[in-house]
Structure 1
Amino acid sequence: MKYFLILLSICCSLFVSAQSIETVIQKGHELSVIAVAISPDSNYVATGSRDKTIKLWDLSSGREVRSFLGHETSVNAIDFSRDGKYIASSSTDKTACLWEVATGKLLFTTEEQKDFLTDVAISPNGKYFVAAGYPDSAIVVDIASKKIVKKIGVNADQGLGSGVNIAFSPDGNWIAFGEDNRTATVYQTNTWKQVYKFQKEEGWCGGCGTQVIFSRDNKSFFMASHNGEVKSYNLADGKLKHLYLENVDELRSIDISSDNQTLLVSTKADAIVWDIVSGKELARINSASKEDLNEACFTLDGKNIIFTSNDNTAAIWNIKQNKLFKLLTGFLNQRDKGGITYNYNDMWERDIYDYIRFKNNLLITEDGTELIKGKFGKKLKRWNMATGKTSMEYVSHQKGVVCYVLSSDGKRLLSGGGDGKLVVWDVAKGDTLQSIQSYDHPVLDIHFNEDETKIISSSWDGTMKIHDIQSGKRLHYFDFGQLGSAYNVLLSLNDLYVFTSHGKFLKMWEVDTHAEVRNFVGHSELISSLSLSADGKILMSTSRDGSTRLWDIGTGLMIRKMVNEGATHTGIFSADGKSIYTAGSDRLIRQWDIASLKVIRVFEGHKSDISTLRLHPNGKMLISYSVDGSTKFWDLQSGKEFFEHIHFGERDWMVKNPDGYFNGTDNARQYIHFVDGMKTYSVDQFFDEFYRPDLLPKIFNERGGVDDNKGVQGKLNQSPPPTVKVAALATSDPTKAEVYIRVTDRGTGVRELKLFHNGKRVAIPTDTKFPKGKDQTTTVKVSVNLVGGTNSFSSSASNHDRVESDAAAAELFSETTSKNSTCYILAVGINQYKNSKLTLSYAKPDAESFGKVMDEKGKLFKNVVMKTLYDSEASKSSILAALEEMSTQVNQEDVFIFYYAGHGSMVDNQFFFIPTESSRLYDLSSLRKEAIEASVLQEKFGKIKALKQLIVMDACQSGGSVELLANRGAAEEKAIAQLSRSAGIHVMASAGSEQFATEFAELGHGLFTYLLIKALQGDADGAPKDGKVTIYELKSYLDDQVPEMTRKLKGKPQYPYTFSRGQDFPVVIEN
């Protein structure tokens, strides 16, 4: 697998700035996106969601800038101030908030109103904002004093829930309210007196909410109503000006372009655009979203519409081309739900969705070195805390795993799934010991009994069961009837009683008779967790009512109560039993002293609801887990976070500490970037200098402290990267283009300039002179040959401290018909070495088999040209000569594949391919003379014109201790990643150090090549199954199958290195 590590200090600014640089993870919204607003300069978009957050996005890059955290329920509306410095928001938590855009800081919150607030608008002069919704009055809030200075009566749509809509005229002289019954009222803001009331003359229409807006020139007023008309009025006399549509159904929003030329009305299914003057319909747009649309608005240039949707995204849609331009999203929207597809937006499924969402457990293995988590599609995974890597997968459930616990000795794992199945696992081996199909609905909770011979479980179907583990036989059955599902179940220490929670009700039952013996009264909302004190005499319950309660089991009476803002999702006792830790929706972890009921410590850092807390067996560490997939590690002595781990899906993960150290999979990089104030920077800008896979164990073991990189923070402070702009222009020759790259020195020089064509690096003129001096600029022209279709160009420049600019991009479409391509393959396989101790068994057969399958399956190419070098033929000079020869033969539209099976060596941070004459793997002077360093091959690949290149490496290292090989593996990983990134090519490699040194006789091949061949023979042909195997299908197959096969053959999963740069393309096709 591919890992990266970026070192970045977030304690001080990356560049000369008063702000600290932030590490931002592109999570996206977890629930429906309801609201959208565009900054006055149109550089940023803000979105509000049912997940309680507001997110700010950089419009050009699509990156998240920051999240605004503070609302307790859905954010229904947002609005920018005219100067772009502030955002106002309203929510179903009955409050409105004002935020500082540049920092995300909550400036103030209004007092709670009587009911939901559905809209908010800031006055053009920035002195006040107005909020309204279900209450019978809109409130006018003075920003300076933070006080409500005026209330205006309104009639809200509570039928379909649109409430009240608000609009200021651009000059601030008018304010309008869209109300129920297809009604709009218009007031003058200097007197707050109503001037106009526009409504349908006949009939009453409850649930027919209205959307309102003023023209940009302040002369007209527009309104649209559900089950009503879309029309405009003259503000001078209040007379009807234009009727655009006689009836609109399922209305969502209204907007006017900044040039005052076009009108936009959106419904839950589509959007209609009219010419304002003529009333002509210009476009009717159906968004690509399969879910209902919510709000829509124009971008500042009027060329695009931004839709928010119940699919948890905001889509930027190009009007002229009628296609999706960009999606504002993150990794939360890409996660595999494991077949658990309940929809929060469906009122019938909302409760079960909510139940399962917060069943988000985390387990610590007995030795304290690994964690176990579920919700990886249908899998559970065990991963090592110190490396971040997966060490075992548990595969048996047909749907996602909802709940899971470990046995007291840590040797068995018990899980309950969305498929209703109960499974007992061997923790070390990953094998299934018992499987019981107990329910037809999801399992909500599961536990061992005291002697761990039985399973107690509960399900969404409102029942609870106790099974014998060995036989699988059901021993007890509880049907809770009208009490409903038991969200939590917990046996007493002697197994005589069981505690269950049903919504706000907490019960105690006698197991044998099924009789209720205790009713613990006090909670007012859903009880989220239960746990017992060490002596079994005290029961702790946490609830979404914000309270944590301790109960005397003997009497059923409450003996302690602790309350905080928002829902409490989890609570645990400290090791000494004198304090408890609680966490929930306010994203804070609190440590409470039980005797005094005082908070003695607060842990702050999560960005989403915290669902699980665990104390490490060593007593020095607290581990917390939130619903966005983030696991944080806290040092109990200092109270500080020193480590964070995030899974981005089934395969990809990353880790970071507060000082900015990163490690993770290659694909995870797309979800991480840095923010300095309002400017974003990609991870790739710091790749060359700070990609360090070997540092993570040290960071973990030293609680985040790393001593070997002093001065890096200072260097970053003084090393702003160059800036780059790119333009691609057609020439009189339709097969050629000129690419212009403008490079600006920001004070630390320009060391290197890169240009990529369809992902493949192309040469920059050798006589290029870079700018010297701050703000000096150079424009570089590069002539390129075009290929048929879209030609994508991207360029970046790095400074003398190897900090890289963000990539700039341009596209040019060519009508040129591409020639039929030829696939050129250089296959190298070396069994026999000069040093007989290096002899391998399967390298040559692997290369031969690879060449054979490519020749058989390569029918999509005009021709397949194969060059092979085996054993004594594969000398250093022969390999380099073959590459040089191919550089004269291969054309731009061709495909080039380099396959290498043999030894590899990592010495002094340099990776070497070992030709047949090499005798020593780890002597640097010998390697420089006899072996081929990766950068030399990179240079050769760069000379080969093919834009589509694949490098396959099945290279193993021999000798040395496991520790030494592991260290070499980390450096090898970096070298392979740099090879892919610098050359703009796809690289797929076995993890050569210790992971694949073993050759498997039963396979007849090295494991990596065995699976590679199966993939090329068609096994990797994924959705759509079209008879072709593409680069990304090949990569996905290897990422899936290599760990699964190594788990079966070696007892634990291992991962290949697969780094992809450049465009996807088919490699083979079925005959």
Structure 2
Amino acid sequence: MAQTGNIIIPSGHAKPVSSIVVDKQGKYMYTLESNKVIMWDVKTHDQLYTFENGGKDIILSNDGTKMILFGSCYSTVTGKLLFKMGGSSNTFAFSPDDTKIYIIGSSLIIADANTGKGEEILKTPGFGYSLSAFVLEDGRLLAYDNTAWRIYDLAQKKLDFEYKAEYLNSMVYLPTLHAMANYLPEKPVNIRDIYTGKVLSTLKHTESQPLLIPSADNTEFIYYDGNMITNTFTIYNGETWLPVKRITALSTGYYNGSTGRLFAVKGVDIDVINVKTGAKLATFKRQVADLGGDIFSSLQYNYSTATLNIVTDDSVYKSIDMVKLKPFRHKPIANMSVMAFSTTGDTVAIFSGYKSLTLKNIKTGKLLLTVKKLIDEASTNERDNFFFNETGTELYYTLFSIPKQRCTIYRMNTKTGVTVPLISFIGTRNPKLTPDKSMLAAIDEGYQYDHAKVWDITSGKLLFDKNMGEDSHNYISVSANKKQVLFTRNGTPELYDIAAGALVNKFKVSLGHDVVNATPDLSTFVTGSVNGFITAYKADGTQLYSVSGHLAQVRRILFSQDAALMYTVAEDQTIKVWQTQTGKLLGTLYLFNDGDDFVFIDPYGRFDGTEGGMKRMYYFRNRIKVSLDVVYERFYTPNLYQRLVNGEDFPPIDIIINPQPKVRINYAEVARNLNVVEDKVQTYNNTTGVAEITVNASAENDKVDEIRLFHNGKIVNLATRGLFVTDNSTGTDTKKYTLNLLPGVNSIRAVALNSQRTESRPDEITVNYKAAGQPNLPVPANNGTNGVLAQVDRNATMHLVVVGINAYKNPKMSLNYALADATAFKNEAEKDAKTIITNVKTYFVTDAQADKNGITAAFAEVQKNAKPQDVFVFYYAGHGVISDKNKEFYLVPNDVTDLKNVDEALAQNGIPSKMLQQYAIDISAQKQVFILDACQSAGAFQQLMTNDANQQKNLAVVARSTGTHWIAASGSQQFAQEFAQLGHGAFTYVLLKAMQGEAASNKMVTINGLKNFLQVQVPDLMKKYNGAPQYPATYGYGSDFPVEMMK
């Protein structure tokens, strides 16, 4: 859903918005589509609660704290259902003091607004379609539909006035004019007095479907002529017309006449329009990627590789590894209409504008082959009639001959372009390939012709043909053993022997006309409905479960290679993962536009994903928004998807998030208000090189647990409670600092955390230090990805600590190539450093010297000598382990002798992540990177997965808290083949190639460039040698900086 555990994912609307209203306080907007309402913040445009209920109207209380949808009353403060009143044909209105609810239908009922329980006061003549109600200024009730309006005196319990229209027509109440506008298509709009029914004015210039939008706060209303070409808008105040600049057509809207703002509904988005200028001021819209509505051109699932290729609205396509649940965005290609994807993902076949068929390399954008120019033919419109074979050597595509009125599937050699016709048919419905792409099943249909057929793809031979007569059908599939075919006839599955053509079984289940799929062994059937329900049946007709899965129509139902998992793709732009046999929801995948950003979130609110994806989500409770990245330590769960798939049991997160703490930086004696939000970063000038900084923090309903101060992105001090001064009278905590500034611009940022580890919004100031006679420092323009690089001081020092351990004191723990990895890294790093910095100080700690004392001595030397302008690089190749006792990640020096009973040994001789965190804080160098190629001991896959996740979380929290960069080999183990052929582990092998220039951009290699290169290349290399991709963990919250300049 769009909210999980009060975590909001801005998924927006999937279907057109039909109704919109803004509360009287002007703070929140509510928009309705068929089966849900979204609450939005008017000022920030943030999506807030999603109410899973439909209806035709949104009825708000006068104070904006309650909302009625389809007979259910909700709190708009908590987002929770308060009570149900029933009556799908009724309408509702709140009394002026919000203590009562008026229920109008076949009778008029006055109900208690706290309980929904009420008493009937009179019968009504009944109402028709589009029933609505308003409370008038004198306390009477106005109710109207498309045939009449009536005014009721509630105190006297009687009908005061009734006006009946001559024809069925549209009616719009204009509250500030005390008038009703009623009209028919292509007829004048009559504006009538609601108390008498007399015509006050007539609007003669109408088109086919005019639209009136009354102002909420003055006598104006918006009039839209309904002409899709001219899109004419006019403001009318009862006497004069004021034309509005032409803007895009709208279906409905909400208008504030006093401010001149029109909230214009345009499909699934809402634009805020200045009606005087026509300018678009803002847009309320979804942030997740549109997964497309065209099945044939936007989605293809490859069972052999467990890869889902899906077209989104920002790219040609994204490939999702459904084993790891990792999406990858390919390079865009213009003019894409219909596509097929090779198994390797590097080649696509494209019907461009339905005019030609071409082959392109998606990585290079190079045109490989123009296959066909379409003259009197049209391209396929079915996904499974357009595909590559498993090796990518053959492309199968379908063309419809306009003169012959028949379709033909062609097979083409992708190297030579030689094409042969293979299969001919009239037209196919829902064709389906077998997972190995050797057989195709489809309903061949035409005028008075409906046959269930199965073809051999290699030969084109027709293997099965069954006349369906006039029966309805919507699904067909070949069994996993390829000996049987199943199809639905009038909603009932029937199983036939392909060779004999004989009926084997008629299943005792009715699947209707929803989206259907069956597990490969045909033992389980699953349907997805237009309203998002997922229903599963056994072959004997027993229903396994029926759950509300999505907030919009289900598009596709897919299964994992072993059918244990089910993936559902829906028009609410989500991909959900379920246990096939139980219907248990494991979580929901959200893709975001403009890159590889994604988030996977479980039903309790735990999440995994990219940093960019996490920043687009937020926690929302009692109308208080907390950005999700500031509750990072609580909810972030690395490897969440794979851990759930492998059966790890997570307890529910039962926590109420307190409001964010507040923090403010004061420079010298310049005081700033802790409770005032400032839009601009405050800037100060300095000539002494020393800045006196005071950080003030507070935590509502909580206490300040930690204050962090960052200088140019890197942590200066992490002060925990007891290390700062608390003023009990004001509830404010204070920490004072003296900072030595660097010449030029100094960015100073503070963050406070409360006891729940929720972070404040950061507060930031800039101090410009201009030192006398200080030369300008070389600053590269950018890192090639629009990111600004930190300044580089050529006269500074790079402190390089490299640790490599082959020989452990316990011989069973010895490694073969850790020392080779460390040596190669040291040599390359020293060579590269000379291109950017004058001085390099190396601490090379290996084998016998690499006990805890030897490693920490190197850290201590750097801590003693490093200056803020310096660079610090730490590289480690050796064992790494997660402590069973405290779940903390440890580097394992050579004197930790037993990895099986490791906790005591780690406590004495290990190097925990908290110690690394403290070194990152205490070492003054503002540019720091930690690179860990830590090999984990062998063990059960599930335990390795959990340990790897705990390592990632440890490192992520350290990186975030210190403003430093961390790169780690994820799930690393030794593989003999990998080492023998490469001479290094895959992680360091790719790292060395990146440092040697393959990660260069703008003639430089940067830290972020290294990370991006590793994220792409390591999985590919590991897949080659290990059979499965492994993704390095990279975290960086400090400034990007170059590590090599290319000639």
User: What residue number does 1:16 align with?
Assistant: none
Task: Kindly provide the CA deviation profile for residues 367-409 of structure 1, in whole angstroms up to 9, marking residues without a partner as x.
Answer: xxx955333875765544xxx4669999999989978999xxx
Task: Indicate how the Cα distance of structure 1 residues 783 and 220 shifts in structure 2: closer, same or farther if over 3 A, else same.
Answer: farther
Contact 1:458 1:488 in 2 (8 A): no
Contact 1:174 1:188 in 2 (8 A): yes
Within the alignment, does 1:906 sit opposite 2:851 as a pair?
no
User: What residue number does 1:648 align with?
Assistant: 591
Contact 1:903 1:914 in 2 (8 A): yes
Q: 1:1026-1041 to 2 correspondence within 5 Å?
A: 1026-1027=1002-1003, 1031-1041=1007-1017
Q: How far apart, CA to CA, are the structure 1 residues paired with 2:246 and 2:639?
A: 60
Contact 2:832 2:1043 in 1 (8 A): no
User: What residue number does 1:752 align with?
Assistant: 706
SS in 2 for 1:822: coil
Q: How far apart, CA to CA, are the structure 1 residues paired with 2:533 and 2:944?
A: 41
User: What residue number does 2:487 align with?
Assistant: 539
User: What residue number does 1:1061 align with?
Assistant: 1037
Task: Indicate how the Cα distance of structure 1 residues 1055 and 619 shifts in structure 2: closer, same or farther if over 3 A, else same.
Answer: closer
Contact 1:224 1:231 in 2 (8 A): yes
Task: Indicate how the Cα distance of structure 1 residues 487 and 614 shifts in structure 2: closer, same or farther if over 3 A, else same.
Answer: closer
User: What residue number does 1:822 align with?
Assistant: 792
Give the RMSD, CA atoms, in angstroms. 6.3
Q: How far apart, CA to CA, are the structure 1 residues paired with 2:587 and 2:75?
A: 27
TM-score (norm 2): 0.66
Task: Kindly provide the CA deviation profile for residues 525-567 of structure 1, in whole angstroms up to 9, marking residues without a partner as x.
Answer: xx7642368985762169xxxx677699889xx9999476xx7
State the identity as a percent: 18
Task: Indicate how the Cα distance of structure 1 residues 914 and 506 shifts in structure 2: closer, same or farther if over 3 A, else same.
Answer: same
Task: Indicate how the Cα distance of structure 1 residues 620 and 986 shifts in structure 2: closer, same or farther if over 3 A, else same.
Answer: closer
Q: What amino acid maps onto 1:951 in structure 2?
A: F
Within the alignment, does 1:795 sit opposite 2:751 as a pair?
yes
Contact 1:489 1:498 in 2 (8 A): yes
Which one of 238, 260, 278 corresponds to residue 263 of structure 1? Answer: 260
Within the alignment, does 1:969 sit opposite 2:967 as a pair?
no
Within the alignment, does 1:882 sit opposite 2:861 as a pair?
yes
1:646 deviation in Å?
2.6
Task: Indicate how the Cα distance of structure 1 residues 798 and 841 shifts in structure 2: closer, same or farther if over 3 A, else same.
Answer: same
Q: What amino acid maps onto 1:604 in structure 2?
A: S
Which one of 947, 955, 964 corresponds to residue 985 of structure 1? Answer: 964
1:1043 deviation in Å?
0.5
Contact 2:385 2:409 in 1 (8 A): no
User: What residue number does 2:409 align with?
Assistant: 465
User: What residue number does 1:855 align with?
Assistant: 834
Within the alignment, does 1:572 sit opposite 2:518 as a pair?
yes
Task: Kindly provide the CA deviation profile for residues 304-352 of structure 1, in whole angstroms up to 9, marking residues without a partner as x.
Answer: 97644xxxxx3xxxxxxxxxxxxx543325x7xxxxxxxx7xxxxxxxx
Stretches of structure 2 that go unaligned for 5 or more consecutive residues are 105-127, 136-140, 150-168, 360-368, 402-406, 671-683, 778-790
SS in 1 for 2:584: strand
Contact 1:1043 1:1054 in 2 (8 A): yes
1:661 deviation in Å?
5.5
Which one of 1009, 1018, 1022 corresponds to residue 1042 of structure 1? Answer: 1018
User: What residue number does 1:743 align with?
Assistant: 698
Q: 1:320-331 to 2 correspondence within 5 Å?
A: 329-331=286-288
Q: How far apart, CA to CA, are the structure 1 residues paired with 2:767 and 2:189?
A: 52
Which one of 630, 647, 663 corresponds to residue 726 of structure 1? Answer: 663
SS in 1 for 2:528: strand
Task: Indicate how the Cα distance of structure 1 residues 886 and 1000 shifts in structure 2: closer, same or farther if over 3 A, else same.
Answer: farther
Which one of 870, 873, 882 corresponds to residue 844 of structure 2? Answer: 870
Contact 1:166 1:178 in 2 (8 A): no
Q: 1:161-200 to 2 correspondence within 5 Å?
A: 168-169=174-175, 173-174=178-179, 186-190=191-195, 194-198=199-203
Task: Indicate how the Cα distance of structure 1 residues 826 and 602 shifts in structure 2: closer, same or farther if over 3 A, else same.
Answer: same
SS in 2 for 1:841: helix
1:215 deviation in Å?
6.8
User: What residue number does 2:146 align with?
Assistant: 151
Task: Kindly provide the CA deviation profile for residues 675-721 of structure 1, in whole angstroms up to 9, marking residues without a partner as x.
Answer: 5465555555554466565887675455x755xx6xx76xx45x754
Q: What amino acid maps onto 1:869 in structure 2?
A: Y
Which one of 528, 531, 542 corresponds to residue 586 of structure 1? Answer: 531
Q: How far apart, CA to CA, are the structure 2 residues paired with 1:960 and 1:259?
A: 68
SS in 1 for 2:919: helix
Task: Indicate how the Cα distance of structure 1 residues 846 and 513 shifts in structure 2: closer, same or farther if over 3 A, else same.
Answer: closer
TM-score (norm 1): 0.65
Task: Indicate how the Cα distance of structure 1 residues 807 and 996 shifts in structure 2: closer, same or farther if over 3 A, else same.
Answer: farther
Task: Kindly provide the CA deviation profile for residues 50-82 of structure 1, in whole angstroms up to 9, marking residues without a partner as x.
Answer: x9754334568876434345669xx9x978654
1:648 deviation in Å?
3.5
Q: 1:398-409 to 2 correspondence within 5 Å?
A: none
User: What residue number does 1:287 align with?
Assistant: none
Q: How far apart, CA to CA, are the structure 2 residues paired with 1:964 and 1:560?
A: 43
Work out which of the two has the higher radius of gyration on C-alpha atoms and give 1 or 2: 2
Q: 1:494-893 to 2 correspondence within 5 Å?
A: 499-500=443-444, 506-508=450-452, 518=467, 520-521=469-470, 523=472, 529-531=475-477, 536=484, 539-540=487-488, 562=510, 568-572=514-518, 580-591=525-536, 601-613=545-557, 624-626=568-570, 628-634=573-579, 636=581, 639-644=582-587, 646=589, 648=591, 657-658=602-603, 662=607, 669-670=614-615, 673-676=618-621, 678-684=623-629, 687-688=632-633, 693=638, 699-700=644-645, 702=647, 705=649, 716-717=654-655, 721=658, 723-727=660-664, 733-735=684-686, 741-744=696-699, 746=701, 749-755=703-709, 760-763=714-717, 777-780=731-734, 793=749, 795-799=751-755, 803-810=756-763, 812=765, 820=777, 821-822=791-792, 824-831=797-804, 835=808, 837=814, 840-856=819-835, 858=836, 863=837, 865-871=839-845, 875-887=854-866, 889-891=867-869
1:1042 deviation in Å?
1.1
Count of matched residue positions in the alignment of Structure 1 and Structure 2: 889
Q: How far apart, CA to CA, are the structure 2 residues paired with 1:689 and 1:932?
A: 24
1:1061 deviation in Å?
2.5
Contact 1:757 1:793 in 2 (8 A): yes
Q: 1:912-951 to 2 correspondence within 5 Å?
A: 912-913=890-891, 932-944=911-923, 949-951=928-930
SS in 1 for 2:830: helix
Q: 1:64-83 to 2 correspondence within 5 Å?
A: 64-69=47-52, 82-83=62-63
Q: What amino acid maps onto 1:822 in structure 2?
A: V
User: What residue number does 1:375 align with?
Assistant: 310
Q: How far apart, CA to CA, are the structure 2 residues paired with 1:700 and 1:65?
A: 30
Task: Indicate how the Cα distance of structure 1 residues 618 and 877 shifts in structure 2: closer, same or farther if over 3 A, else same.
Answer: closer
Q: How far apart, CA to CA, are the structure 1 residues paired with 2:25 and 2:448?
A: 48
SS in 2 for 1:903: strand
1:986 deviation in Å?
2.4
Q: 1:405-444 to 2 correspondence within 5 Å?
A: 444=382
Q: What amino acid maps onto 1:581 in structure 2?
A: V
Q: How far apart, CA to CA, are the structure 1 residues paired with 2:274 and 2:51?
A: 23
Contact 1:531 1:541 in 2 (8 A): no
Q: How far apart, CA to CA, are the structure 2 residues paired with 1:983 and 1:267?
A: 45
1:917 deviation in Å?
8.0
Task: Indicate how the Cα distance of structure 1 residues 911 and 746 shifts in structure 2: closer, same or farther if over 3 A, else same.
Answer: same
Q: What amino acid maps onto 2:50 in structure 1?
A: S
1:1057 deviation in Å?
0.9
Larger RCO (CA under 8 A, 6+ residues apart): 1
Q: How far apart, CA to CA, are the structure 2 residues paired with 1:1044 and 1:129?
A: 63
Q: What amino acid maps onto 2:760 in structure 1?
A: A
SS in 2 for 1:1047: helix
Contact 1:755 1:793 in 2 (8 A): yes
Q: How far apart, CA to CA, are the structure 1 residues paired with 2:257 and 2:345?
A: 63
Task: Indicate how the Cα distance of structure 1 residues 688 and 998 shifts in structure 2: closer, same or farther if over 3 A, else same.
Answer: farther
